[in-house]
Amino acid sequence: MERKSKIDAFGASSLILFSALLGLNQVLVKIVNGGMQPVFQAGLRSLCVFPLILIFALVMKRRLSISDGSFWPGVIAGLLFASEFILLFLALDFTTVARASIFFYTMPFWLAVAAHFLIPGDRMTGIKLVGLALALAGVVLALSKNQAPATEYALIGDLICLVGAMMWAGIALLARTTQLQKSSPEMQLLYQVAVSAPVILIAALFFGPFIRDLQPYHLAIFSFQVVVVVAFGFSMWFWLLSKYPASDMASFSFLAPVFGVACGWLILNEPVGIRLFLALVLVGTGIILVNRKPAAKTG
Protein backbone atom coordinates (compact mmCIF):
# COMPACT_ATOMS: atom_id res chain seq x y z
CA MET A 1 0.00 0.00 0.00
CA GLU A 2 1.37 3.38 -0.99
CA ARG A 3 2.33 5.60 1.93
CA LYS A 4 1.82 9.34 1.77
CA SER A 5 4.46 11.85 2.82
CA LYS A 6 1.84 14.28 4.11
CA ILE A 7 -1.86 14.54 4.87
CA ASP A 8 -3.95 15.02 1.73
CA ALA A 9 -7.60 16.11 1.44
CA PHE A 10 -8.91 12.56 1.92
CA GLY A 11 -6.72 11.99 4.96
CA ALA A 12 -7.72 15.32 6.49
CA SER A 13 -11.44 14.68 6.01
CA SER A 14 -11.07 11.16 7.46
CA LEU A 15 -9.26 12.48 10.53
CA ILE A 16 -11.92 15.15 11.03
CA LEU A 17 -14.58 12.41 10.83
CA PHE A 18 -12.68 10.30 13.38
CA SER A 19 -12.39 13.28 15.75
CA ALA A 20 -16.12 13.92 15.36
CA LEU A 21 -16.84 10.31 16.29
CA LEU A 22 -14.69 10.65 19.40
CA GLY A 23 -16.51 13.82 20.39
CA LEU A 24 -19.91 12.27 19.75
CA ASN A 25 -18.97 9.12 21.65
CA GLN A 26 -18.97 10.81 25.04
CA VAL A 27 -22.49 12.09 24.43
CA LEU A 28 -23.57 8.55 23.53
CA VAL A 29 -21.96 7.12 26.67
CA LYS A 30 -23.74 9.67 28.84
CA ILE A 31 -27.11 8.88 27.24
CA VAL A 32 -26.64 5.11 27.64
CA ASN A 33 -25.66 5.67 31.28
CA GLY A 34 -29.35 6.38 31.78
CA GLY A 35 -30.15 2.77 30.86
CA MET A 36 -27.05 0.90 32.05
CA GLN A 37 -24.69 1.22 34.97
CA PRO A 38 -21.63 3.08 33.59
CA VAL A 39 -19.01 0.48 34.52
CA PHE A 40 -21.16 -2.35 33.15
CA GLN A 41 -21.60 -0.41 29.91
CA ALA A 42 -17.82 0.02 29.59
CA GLY A 43 -17.16 -3.69 30.14
CA LEU A 44 -19.93 -4.81 27.82
CA ARG A 45 -18.57 -2.53 25.11
CA SER A 46 -15.10 -4.07 25.34
CA LEU A 47 -16.65 -7.54 25.24
CA CYS A 48 -18.74 -6.78 22.17
CA VAL A 49 -16.04 -4.99 20.21
CA PHE A 50 -13.38 -7.69 20.63
CA PRO A 51 -14.68 -10.02 17.87
CA LEU A 52 -15.19 -7.10 15.47
CA ILE A 53 -11.59 -5.89 15.85
CA LEU A 54 -10.35 -9.48 15.55
CA ILE A 55 -12.29 -10.02 12.32
CA PHE A 56 -10.93 -6.76 10.91
CA ALA A 57 -7.36 -7.72 11.80
CA LEU A 58 -7.72 -11.16 10.21
CA VAL A 59 -9.33 -9.82 7.05
CA MET A 60 -6.62 -7.17 6.70
CA LYS A 61 -3.97 -9.82 7.46
CA ARG A 62 -2.47 -7.86 10.35
CA ARG A 63 0.23 -9.54 12.41
CA LEU A 64 -1.26 -10.95 15.62
CA SER A 65 1.13 -12.55 18.09
CA ILE A 66 1.58 -12.92 21.85
CA SER A 67 4.98 -14.63 21.55
CA ASP A 68 6.98 -11.56 20.51
CA GLY A 69 7.60 -10.37 24.06
CA SER A 70 4.52 -8.15 24.08
CA PHE A 71 2.30 -10.35 26.26
CA TRP A 72 2.95 -8.85 29.71
CA PRO A 73 3.16 -5.24 28.50
CA GLY A 74 -0.09 -5.98 26.64
CA VAL A 75 -1.72 -7.22 29.83
CA ILE A 76 -0.59 -4.11 31.72
CA ALA A 77 -1.92 -1.94 28.88
CA GLY A 78 -5.23 -3.78 29.19
CA LEU A 79 -5.39 -3.04 32.92
CA LEU A 80 -4.67 0.63 32.28
CA PHE A 81 -7.33 0.61 29.55
CA ALA A 82 -9.83 -0.88 32.02
CA SER A 83 -9.01 1.79 34.60
CA GLU A 84 -9.20 4.55 31.99
CA PHE A 85 -12.69 3.63 30.85
CA ILE A 86 -14.07 2.85 34.29
CA LEU A 87 -13.06 6.39 35.25
CA LEU A 88 -14.36 8.02 32.05
CA PHE A 89 -17.74 6.27 32.07
CA LEU A 90 -18.22 7.05 35.77
CA ALA A 91 -17.18 10.67 35.22
CA LEU A 92 -19.87 11.11 32.57
CA ASP A 93 -22.41 10.15 35.24
CA PHE A 94 -21.22 13.09 37.34
CA THR A 95 -20.13 15.90 35.03
CA THR A 96 -21.04 17.31 31.63
CA VAL A 97 -19.74 16.01 28.32
CA ALA A 98 -18.25 19.42 27.51
CA ARG A 99 -16.16 19.46 30.68
CA ALA A 100 -15.21 15.79 30.41
CA SER A 101 -13.97 16.36 26.86
CA ILE A 102 -11.61 19.11 27.95
CA PHE A 103 -10.17 17.13 30.86
CA PHE A 104 -9.96 13.74 29.18
CA TYR A 105 -8.15 15.03 26.10
CA THR A 106 -5.31 16.45 28.18
CA MET A 107 -3.64 13.08 27.54
CA PRO A 108 -0.91 14.46 25.19
CA PHE A 109 0.40 16.66 27.98
CA TRP A 110 0.77 13.87 30.53
CA LEU A 111 2.45 11.79 27.82
CA ALA A 112 4.84 14.62 26.95
CA VAL A 113 5.83 15.06 30.62
CA ALA A 114 6.35 11.32 31.14
CA ALA A 115 8.30 10.99 27.89
CA HIS A 116 10.64 13.78 28.98
CA PHE A 117 11.81 11.66 31.91
CA LEU A 118 11.41 8.14 30.52
CA ILE A 119 12.20 8.24 26.79
CA PRO A 120 15.73 9.23 25.77
CA GLY A 121 15.75 11.92 23.11
CA ASP A 122 12.10 12.89 23.70
CA ARG A 123 12.75 15.99 25.78
CA MET A 124 10.45 18.87 26.50
CA THR A 125 11.19 21.76 24.14
CA GLY A 126 10.36 25.40 24.64
CA ILE A 127 7.33 25.10 22.39
CA LYS A 128 6.10 22.01 24.26
CA LEU A 129 6.53 23.78 27.59
CA VAL A 130 4.43 26.69 26.32
CA GLY A 131 1.79 24.20 25.15
CA LEU A 132 1.84 22.46 28.54
CA ALA A 133 1.51 25.77 30.37
CA LEU A 134 -1.46 26.81 28.21
CA ALA A 135 -3.17 23.46 28.76
CA LEU A 136 -2.67 23.59 32.51
CA ALA A 137 -4.04 27.14 32.53
CA GLY A 138 -7.08 25.84 30.65
CA VAL A 139 -7.59 23.02 33.15
CA VAL A 140 -7.29 25.37 36.12
CA LEU A 141 -9.71 27.82 34.50
CA ALA A 142 -12.25 25.06 33.87
CA LEU A 143 -11.91 23.66 37.39
CA SER A 144 -12.17 27.09 39.01
CA LYS A 145 -15.91 27.30 38.44
CA ASN A 146 -18.42 24.73 37.27
CA GLN A 147 -21.16 26.80 35.68
CA ALA A 148 -23.44 23.87 34.90
CA PRO A 149 -22.75 20.93 37.21
CA ALA A 150 -24.43 17.70 36.17
CA THR A 151 -24.59 16.66 39.85
CA GLU A 152 -23.24 17.78 43.19
CA TYR A 153 -20.32 15.46 42.47
CA ALA A 154 -19.35 17.30 39.26
CA LEU A 155 -15.91 18.25 40.57
CA ILE A 156 -15.22 14.58 41.30
CA GLY A 157 -16.22 13.78 37.72
CA ASP A 158 -13.83 16.44 36.41
CA LEU A 159 -10.93 15.13 38.48
CA ILE A 160 -11.39 11.47 37.62
CA CYS A 161 -11.45 12.48 33.94
CA LEU A 162 -7.97 13.90 34.48
CA VAL A 163 -6.83 10.65 36.09
CA GLY A 164 -8.37 8.72 33.19
CA ALA A 165 -6.33 10.86 30.79
CA MET A 166 -3.19 9.90 32.71
CA MET A 167 -4.08 6.21 32.36
CA TRP A 168 -4.47 6.75 28.61
CA ALA A 169 -1.03 8.39 28.52
CA GLY A 170 0.34 5.35 30.35
CA ILE A 171 -0.89 3.07 27.56
CA ALA A 172 0.80 5.25 24.93
CA LEU A 173 3.99 5.24 27.00
CA LEU A 174 3.97 1.44 27.22
CA ALA A 175 3.54 1.25 23.44
CA ARG A 176 6.69 3.34 23.00
CA THR A 177 8.98 1.93 25.71
CA THR A 178 8.27 -1.82 25.90
CA GLN A 179 8.06 -4.85 23.66
CA LEU A 180 4.47 -3.80 22.99
CA GLN A 181 5.88 -1.60 20.22
CA LYS A 182 6.56 -4.80 18.28
CA SER A 183 2.82 -5.48 18.08
CA SER A 184 0.61 -4.18 15.29
CA PRO A 185 -1.82 -1.43 16.35
CA GLU A 186 -4.67 -3.95 16.01
CA MET A 187 -2.93 -6.38 18.35
CA GLN A 188 -2.41 -3.61 20.88
CA LEU A 189 -6.13 -2.81 20.80
CA LEU A 190 -6.98 -6.51 21.09
CA TYR A 191 -4.84 -6.74 24.23
CA GLN A 192 -6.69 -3.78 25.67
CA VAL A 193 -10.24 -4.97 25.00
CA ALA A 194 -9.50 -8.64 25.80
CA VAL A 195 -8.03 -7.82 29.21
CA SER A 196 -10.38 -4.96 30.04
CA ALA A 197 -13.64 -6.80 29.30
CA PRO A 198 -13.49 -9.29 32.20
CA VAL A 199 -11.77 -6.82 34.53
CA ILE A 200 -14.39 -4.10 34.02
CA LEU A 201 -17.31 -6.53 34.18
CA ILE A 202 -16.03 -7.88 37.50
CA ALA A 203 -15.55 -4.32 38.76
CA ALA A 204 -19.14 -3.55 37.73
CA LEU A 205 -20.35 -5.88 40.49
CA PHE A 206 -19.36 -3.18 43.00
CA PHE A 207 -21.20 -0.28 41.38
CA GLY A 208 -24.84 -1.24 41.83
CA PRO A 209 -27.42 -2.87 39.53
CA PHE A 210 -26.31 -3.41 35.95
CA ILE A 211 -29.59 -2.16 34.50
CA ARG A 212 -31.17 1.18 35.25
CA ASP A 213 -34.07 2.33 33.05
CA LEU A 214 -33.06 0.45 29.90
CA GLN A 215 -35.01 1.39 26.78
CA PRO A 216 -34.70 0.24 23.13
CA TYR A 217 -33.00 3.50 22.15
CA HIS A 218 -30.28 2.84 24.74
CA LEU A 219 -29.54 -0.48 23.04
CA ALA A 220 -29.55 1.16 19.60
CA ILE A 221 -27.11 3.86 20.74
CA PHE A 222 -24.91 1.28 22.47
CA SER A 223 -24.81 -0.78 19.25
CA PHE A 224 -23.84 2.34 17.31
CA GLN A 225 -20.98 2.88 19.75
CA VAL A 226 -19.69 -0.66 19.30
CA VAL A 227 -20.01 -0.93 15.53
CA VAL A 228 -19.48 2.61 14.26
CA VAL A 229 -17.45 4.49 16.88
CA VAL A 230 -15.13 1.76 18.13
CA ALA A 231 -14.98 -0.96 15.45
CA PHE A 232 -15.27 1.27 12.36
CA GLY A 233 -13.69 4.39 13.87
CA PHE A 234 -10.57 2.74 15.22
CA SER A 235 -10.22 0.47 12.21
CA MET A 236 -10.23 3.62 10.10
CA TRP A 237 -7.63 5.15 12.42
CA PHE A 238 -5.35 2.13 12.04
CA TRP A 239 -5.71 2.26 8.27
CA LEU A 240 -4.87 5.96 8.24
CA LEU A 241 -1.90 5.29 10.53
CA SER A 242 -0.53 2.81 7.99
CA LYS A 243 -0.92 5.35 5.17
CA TYR A 244 -0.02 8.77 6.62
CA PRO A 245 2.76 10.07 8.92
CA ALA A 246 1.78 9.65 12.58
CA SER A 247 3.28 13.04 13.47
CA ASP A 248 1.02 14.78 10.94
CA MET A 249 -2.01 12.87 12.18
CA ALA A 250 -1.30 13.98 15.75
CA SER A 251 -1.84 17.59 14.73
CA PHE A 252 -5.56 16.82 14.33
CA SER A 253 -5.95 15.62 17.94
CA PHE A 254 -7.07 19.05 19.18
CA LEU A 255 -10.33 18.51 17.28
CA ALA A 256 -11.58 15.76 19.60
CA PRO A 257 -12.26 18.04 22.60
CA VAL A 258 -13.70 20.68 20.25
CA PHE A 259 -16.20 18.17 18.88
CA GLY A 260 -16.88 16.87 22.40
CA VAL A 261 -17.85 20.32 23.65
CA ALA A 262 -19.87 21.02 20.49
CA CYS A 263 -21.78 17.72 20.71
CA GLY A 264 -22.56 18.27 24.39
CA TRP A 265 -23.95 21.70 23.53
CA LEU A 266 -25.89 20.63 20.42
CA ILE A 267 -27.29 17.29 21.57
CA LEU A 268 -27.57 17.58 25.36
CA ASN A 269 -28.12 21.35 25.47
CA GLU A 270 -25.19 21.78 27.86
CA PRO A 271 -24.37 25.46 28.46
CA VAL A 272 -20.91 26.50 27.27
CA GLY A 273 -20.04 29.75 29.03
CA ILE A 274 -17.12 32.02 28.26
CA ARG A 275 -14.98 30.38 30.96
CA LEU A 276 -15.37 26.91 29.47
CA PHE A 277 -14.88 28.26 25.95
CA LEU A 278 -11.61 29.93 26.95
CA ALA A 279 -10.49 26.72 28.67
CA LEU A 280 -11.17 24.82 25.45
CA VAL A 281 -9.14 27.35 23.43
CA LEU A 282 -6.21 27.06 25.86
CA VAL A 283 -6.24 23.26 25.90
CA GLY A 284 -6.71 23.04 22.12
CA THR A 285 -3.82 25.43 21.49
CA GLY A 286 -1.70 23.47 23.95
CA ILE A 287 -2.41 20.22 22.10
CA ILE A 288 -1.31 21.81 18.82
CA LEU A 289 1.95 23.07 20.34
CA VAL A 290 2.78 19.80 22.13
CA ASN A 291 2.26 17.86 18.91
CA ARG A 292 4.11 20.36 16.73
CA LYS A 293 6.99 18.87 14.78
CA PRO A 294 10.40 20.48 15.34
CA ALA A 295 11.66 22.50 12.42
CA ALA A 296 13.93 20.54 10.11
CA LYS A 297 17.58 21.46 10.49
CA THR A 298 19.32 22.78 7.42
CA GLY A 299 22.97 22.90 6.53
Low-confidence ranges of the chain (pLDDT < 70): 1-2, 146-151, 247, 293-299
Alpha carbon distance 92, 133 (integer Å): 26
What is the predicted pLDDT for the residue at 218? 97
Instruction: Report the Cα 259 to chain-centroid distance in Å.
Output: 13
Report H helices in the chain: 9-32, 38-59, 71-94, 97-104, 107-118, 126-144, 154-177, 185-203, 216-224, 233-243, 246-250, 255-268, 274-290
What is the predicted pLDDT for the residue at 296? 54
Contacts of 140 (CB under 8 A, 6+ apart): none
Query: pLDDT tens for residues 113-140?
Result: 888 888 887 788 888 899 889 989 999 9
Angle of helix 233-243 relative to helix 9-32, nearest 10 degrees?
A: 150
- Using alpha carbons, list the distances in angstroms from residue 103 to 39, 171, 268, 286: 19, 17, 18, 13
| Domain boundaries defined on the chain | 9-290
Partner residues linked to 36 by β-bridges: 211
What is the predicted pLDDT for the residue at 120? 82
What is the predicted pLDDT for the residue at 267? 95
Query: pLDDT tens for residues 187-215?
Result: 999 999 999 999 999 999 999 999 999 99
What is the predicted pLDDT for the residue at 299? 47
